Amino acid sequence: MTVLVTFDLDNTLWDVEPVIVRAEYAMESWFEERFPGFYDQFDFAWQQEEKARLLARSPDLTGNLTAIRLGVYQQALKQFQLPSEECEMVAKAALAHFAEWRQRVDLFPHVAEVLEELYRDYSLAVITNGNADVYHPYIGLGGYFDFALRADQQGVAKPDPELFKMAAEQGKTSTTQIIHIGDHPHDDVYGAANAGAKTIWFNRHGARRWQDGWSQPADAEVYSLLELPAAIRSLLS
């Protein structure tokens, strides 16, 4: 049966924090060019508060980062007293601008090199809770992956085992034949293990210690992406 190696994206193939910071700066400029004074009222802190309010009203949106951001923009534009018939259109345009900046990632060292090696031996796929598009030309990794599952598009987010079951079905294999690689102890390690998959915890540079209160430790741990091929082979031996 086919071995399917699945990857988380944010903080596994790149550092997500600077990506989001740059995207937020770009959004501030985008709104201010069109609606001077917008960010005086609806700055990042306000948007975080509105996100919490939105999730309190609609907890089903948890995990759908794209829908949450769209809802925040729509609410801000309404309070800015933009005509109601324009709010949705402008919010969608703003979201599209954010999405473009969201793809401007700086890959960790050796990402393409390691994926090239793994691609020769295994089927590769993406399972992410984020809204990065691995097939976007700016990221440039789409050629290595057979498919990508994004929580905002599937309606379910890690650690829900359903997302891993979806990956197994699309990869024409079973969850027991999945090896999932990710940085998050709960979403990636617990989520994949709970679905029956093998897990590799990407603990970059060994900076973190596995805490007692976390779930069962991963089947393997790597400090560098260069260690992945050997770690995967050890789980299959």
Q: Give residue-wise pLDDT tens across range 63-121.
A: 899 999 999 999 999 999 999 889 999 999 999 999 999 999 999 999 999 999 999 99
- Confidence (pLDDT) at 66: 93
pLDDT for 237 equals 87
Preceding peptide of 159 cis, ω within 30°: yes
Q: Which architecture does CATH list for 4-15+107-236? A: 3-Layer(aba) Sandwich (3.40)
If you average pLDDT over residues 4-14, what whole number do you get? 98
Pick 17-102's CATH classification: 3.90.380.10, 1.20.120.1600, 1.10.10.10, 2.40.70.10. Answer: 1.20.120.1600
Domain with CATH 3.40.50.1000 in the chain: 4-15+107-236
Mean pLDDT for 198-227 is 95
Helix (H) or strand (E) holding 218: none
pTM: 0.92
Tell me where in the chain the CATH 1.20.120.1600 domain(s) lie: 17-102
> 154: how many CB neighbours lie within 10 A of its CB?
16
Expressed in percent and rounded to 5, the helix, strand and coil fractions of the chain are: 55, 15, 35
